[in-house]
Every structure is written in structure tokens, then in C-alpha cells.
Chain A
């Protein structure tokens, strides 16, 4: 057996893996019950089994029919965008809205093909002001404005 369609092969492998995991985890940790009174494990186990079947089907397909290769992964934009999202979430509490927004913009902008500090800083400033006016003032979302070490935040 040779892999004729790498893209389908990996997709099939992914589905089979997920399916096996859900079946095994359901049997190991949850009660199955019966068809009349289904336990918490019943539905996930059945679906997991179905997913294994489908995954194996895709795997077999990938051996039978030729198909395209998996396109190259571009890790740079992926990593910077994800880190930007994380920076926003994890800097909000200690740093406040301005710090979180600016950090997310700067890190996020590094994902792009062009990076000019001046432009990026202007975009960051605009978005901080916009977020303050629209989300905090206008929509009254409870975001912290000041870094957490400032005890009585003067901005609200």
C-alpha cells in the first residue's frame, strides 16, 4: 500500500486519532448505560466509533486515489497571530486595556509582510483610543483601564 494522496492520508489519520481517543476515553471514564437509559459515555462512544470508521475510510481513499500534497505551512503568521491573541488575554489583568491592546497590535503586526514601527505604533494608539471610547465608555464592558498595581484608577 502506498500513500497516493498525502492530504487525505493526514486528514484520515487525524480523524482516526480523534475517534480512537473519544472511544477510549469514554470507555475508561464514563458509564455506558443501555440504549434505554444512556449513560454519559454512550453517545460519545458511538460517535467516536463512527469517526474511526470515517477516518479509516479516508485513509483507504488516500491509498486508492492520487491527490495533492499538503500545502506548506507558514508558521510565521500563525505563531505571531496566536501569540498576539494570548498577549491580549494574559496582559489584560496585570497590564490594563492599553497595555494589552498595544502589545497585541505590535505582536500581531509582526505576522504581516511589512513591519514599520511608526505605522504600527499609530495603529496601536488609534485602537487603544477606539477601544476606550467604544468598548469601555460606550458599551460599558468591564475592562481594567490601569495596570493592576495602580490602586485607584483615575480613568473610567
Chain B
């Protein structure tokens, strides 16, 4: 068994005392920021990016990925106890998780979400180990046309994530692509959209845009709501779920895992999309759909498993294709580049210890997270009782440190606040920032591949949708088109809105 040999190699790397330590730091930080509403994995990883320069590449990657999947565990704690998503991906957990807490069943809700996450994490790790190598082999054959079409598919998939109007979501993607083009054009060396500002010659930093649109906007949005957070202060007792709970949960956990593993692989997918999809599915297949929203344990088990599975399998396109499916993966690519590793299909063959070590560490990290989240739950509850007026200045400072340390230039802070204001306007106009961020990341990559493909085909645009000569590219575009049609269909459109309406 090739996979087994590789996993053993990975385990040897991941279980070195140094890597175990970095894994622990990663998942601990991940749980911490997952529990705290208003700070997510993106600013945290961005903040730590400069310091990973001093680390071994594998240690850096293990720690950063621990933050991402660790935050999925922590996010559910807040969702259940405070009626607030600690993390975007735990938005749907709030619906039933908090209801369970109100009925005095916070313990089982927390336990099921940790158990579900753990099961999902283990299975998703296996999925990565088996699916990534063949995918990387296929990816080695990809030319610029295939890459371009794949990115089109990813961007279309990203619009599924967005609330409300489909047209607005697509417009946000296009706007993101355009903003991503600012800076030096790699082909001609021309400075585009820099307006004579030297700081813009390298483009607008992705971290800065993400922190402005998510971090700053989030703080302002939290402050204007003035709502009192009701923390569930009662002692969490009876942590262990009853037999009945387990019987009702195992199927949703497995379904959520399968759904999350699949959706995580799609570019544009990841934890958020997976949890929404899982909630909808559970409600559909349940014999008691009326219990949903009133403390149905299935509504916790499914989405919590799905978001963890999705978080982990979203590493697949990053590791095999070098394409970031979401903002966190874009930062991971940044971390690889800092270490002088060009992301792409060759990483797996050139640096097997990096790839398999990371996978083995995910297993280890998930085991640590169960310990961190179940017996030590009391610590996180204490943390939740800290009022927001103490928390947000701290979050603000951490974001500042992250942005300022990028290049020690106040200009970056200025750009971050500009994007903070822009993000706030977008929230008011119901234009989602997530598709824009994805477009922003993929903009330069798309342009480069488009130009190359057109050059190779001597200006013949059929190179992208020629079913005979370019079957892969053709099927990507076909899938993108199908997805667009499906979302736009009035029937499904209504369903999609229903899902999002329920969350508010």
C-alpha cells in the first residue's frame, strides 16, 4: 500500500517533538480565536505569517493549518453557549445548538459537535490521503486553458456562498478580479491602477484587503448592534450525550462528513458552504423537520461535522493544484512562498515529507482538539464571559500588528481602513465580501493563464471549450454553466434564500 507507506512517513514527521509542539500551539490558538467572536482564522494566520519565516516549512504549515481546523471546533462552543457564531462556519450551529443549551442540554450539544468534528476530521484526513495523489497526477497535465476554466468554475461556485442576489455576487467577484489586477503587470512590466503611488507597485496586499473587509467591518457591525450577549452561565453538566442522542446523531455526522469532504474540494468551497448545505440536507431527510430550530441534535451534528470536513478537504486544491479555494488557503500559499516553495502539483513529489507530514499532523491535531474542547470546556466558557468592550480593542490591536508587520509601513493601515469602510458599505448594500476576496486572490492568476492560453492557441478562444481537444477545460466550463443555471432556477433560488433567511 502506497498510501500506508506515505502515511507512516508522514507520521514520523508529524510526531517529532517539535512538530507536535507546533501542532499544539496551532490548535490551541485556533480554538481560542474560534471561541472569540469577531476574530477569525484569516487575521490570525495573517498575523503569524511573517514569523513563520523563521520556522521550518513543515512546522509552519502544521501550525497554520491547526489554527484553521481548530477554529472550527472553537466556533461551535460560542454558537452553542452564546447564541452567536464564534466563526462564520458555525452560523447554522447557533440555530439548534443554542436552543439545546437553553433546554439545559449544552453538554450533549458540545460533546456531539466535538465528536462529530473529530469523526469528520479523521475521515477527511483519509480523503485527502487517497484523493490528493491521483488529483496531483491529473493536475500535472493541466495547461493554461484548464487552469483558467477551473478558476472560472471556482468563482462561480463562490457565488453559491453569497446571500441574496446572484447578480450582485457575480459583480462582487468581477470587482475582486479587477482590484486584484492593481500593481505591476507581469507580462509587460506596466504599472496598472497604481495612480503614481509607489506602495501600490506590488499590488494591494491580500491580507490587508481581507482584514479590512472582514476584520474592521465585523467590529463596526458588532458595535452598532448594541445587543447584549447572553452567555449561558450555568455550569455545563452531563457532558456525555445519551444513547438516544448518539442514535440520532451518527447518520447526520456521516452525511455531514461526506458532504463537507466533497464541497471542501470545490474551489470556492470550504467550511462555510459545507455547514449550510448539511443543515439543509438534515432538515430535508429528517422525520421531524419541525424540531429544527428548536434544539434538534441533528442540526448540530451534521453542520459541525461538515464544516470540519470541509475545512480539511479545502487543502486538496491548494496542495495539488496550487489554487487557493478560500482566503485561508491563499494565506497558506503565502506561507509556502515565504519558504521558497512554489505551490502546485510538484509539491507532493518533490517534498513528500511536507505533504504527508501535514496530513498526519491533522490527525494528531484533531485528537488534541477533542481533549481541548471537552474536558477543558470550562476555560473557554470563562473566556466567553469577557465583555466585548474589552475584547474588541484587543482584536483591533492584533489586526494592526498583523497588518503593520507586513512591511512596517503605515500605508498598509490606511488601505486596511479604506477597505474597512468599503466593506461596511457593502454590508449595507447586501453585497457579500467573500466572493470578492476570492476574485481578488484569483485575478492575477486568471489573467496570466488566459493570456498564455490565448497565445498558445493563436488567439482562438475555442481553446477553452473544445470538447475534443480540451475535454477537461470543456467539462469545467460546462460544470460552471450548469451551476449557474441551477442557482438561477427560480425553484432552487427560493430554497437558497430560505436557508439564509432562517439564519437571521
B408 cross-chain contacts in A, Cβ below 8 A: 92, 142-143
How distant is B392 from chain A, measured CB to nearest CB, in Å? 7
| B454 in contact with A44 (CB, 8 Å) | no
In the complex, which residues 430-481 of chain B have their Cβ closer than 8 Å to any Cβ of chain A? 430-431, 447, 450-451, 454-455, 458-459, 461
B142 at the interface (CB under 8 A from A): no
B390 cross-chain contacts in A, Cβ below 8 A: 119, 123
| A43 in contact with B447 (CB, 8 Å) | yes
Binds A, one of B16-24, B80-88, B177-185: B177-185
Interface of A is mostly: helix
B171 at the interface (CB under 8 A from A): yes
A-B contact count (CB 8 A): 188
Instruction: Show 30 residue pairs from A and B whose CB-CB distance is below 8 angstroms, ordered by the A residue.
Output: A7-B429, A7-B430, A14-B431, A22-B193, A31-B190, A38-B451, A40-B190, A43-B181, A43-B450, A44-B178, A47-B181, A51-B171, A51-B178, A58-B168, A78-B424, A81-B223, A81-B417, A82-B216, A85-B399, A85-B400, A88-B400, A89-B409, A89-B414, A92-B410, A105-B397, A109-B389, A123-B393, A139-B50, A140-B54, A143-B405
A117 at the interface (CB under 8 A from B): no
| B455 in contact with A36 (CB, 8 Å) | yes
Q: Interface size of B by Cβ–Cβ distance < 8 Å? A: 64
B219 at the interface (CB under 8 A from A): yes
- Bound: A6/B57 CA distance, A: 50
B141 at the interface (CB under 8 A from A): no
B396 at the interface (CB under 8 A from A): yes
- Bound: A55/B165 CA distance, A: 12
In the complex, which residues 43-89 of chain A have their Cβ closer than 8 Å to any Cβ of chain B? 43-44, 47-48, 50-51, 54-55, 57-58, 61, 70-71, 73-74, 77-78, 81-82, 84-86, 88-89
- Bound: A88/B420 CA distance, A: 15
| A104 in contact with B401 (CB, 8 Å) | no
Q: A84-B396, A89-B414, A92-B404 are in contact. Are A78 and B421 (CB under 8 A)?
A: yes
A2 at the interface (CB under 8 A from B): no
- Bound: A127/B399 CA distance, A: 13
B353 cross-chain contacts in A, Cβ below 8 A: none
- Additional pairs, 8, CB under 8 Å, beyond known A58-B168, A77-B219: A11-B171, A18-B178, A73-B428, A77-B224, A81-B219, A86-B413, A88-B413, A93-B410
| B458 in contact with A36 (CB, 8 Å) | yes
A152 at the interface (CB under 8 A from B): no
A131 cross-chain contacts in B, Cβ below 8 A: 397, 401
Residues of B whose CB lies within 8 Å of any CB of A are 50-51, 54, 165, 167-168, 170-171, 174-175, 177-178, 181, 185, 187-188, 190, 192-193, 216, 219-220, 223-224, 226, 388-390, 392-394, 396-397, 399-401, 403-405, 408-414, 416-417, 420-421, 424-425, 428-431, 447, 450-451, 454-455, 458-459, 461
Listed residue (B50, B216, B389) with the most chain A CB atoms within 10 angstroms of its CB: B389
- Bound: A123/B178 CA distance, A: 40
| A51 in contact with B420 (CB, 8 Å) | no
How distant is A132 from chain B, measured CB to nearest CB, in Å? 11
How distant is B418 from chain A, measured CB to nearest CB, in Å? 8
| A108 in contact with B414 (CB, 8 Å) | no
**A93, closest chain B residue (CB):** B410
Q: Interface size of A by Cβ–Cβ distance < 8 Å? A: 67
- Bound: A84/B187 CA distance, A: 39
B393 cross-chain contacts in A, Cβ below 8 A: 104-105, 108-109, 120, 123-124, 127
How distant is A5 from chain B, measured CB to nearest CB, in Å? 10
B401 cross-chain contacts in A, Cβ below 8 A: 131, 135, 141
For the complex of A and B, 10 pairs with smallest distance between CB atoms: A89-B413, A89-B410, A36-B459, A82-B417, A77-B223, A74-B224, A54-B171, A88-B400, A11-B429, A40-B185
A61 cross-chain contacts in B, Cβ below 8 A: 165, 167
A89 cross-chain contacts in B, Cβ below 8 A: 400, 403-404, 409-414
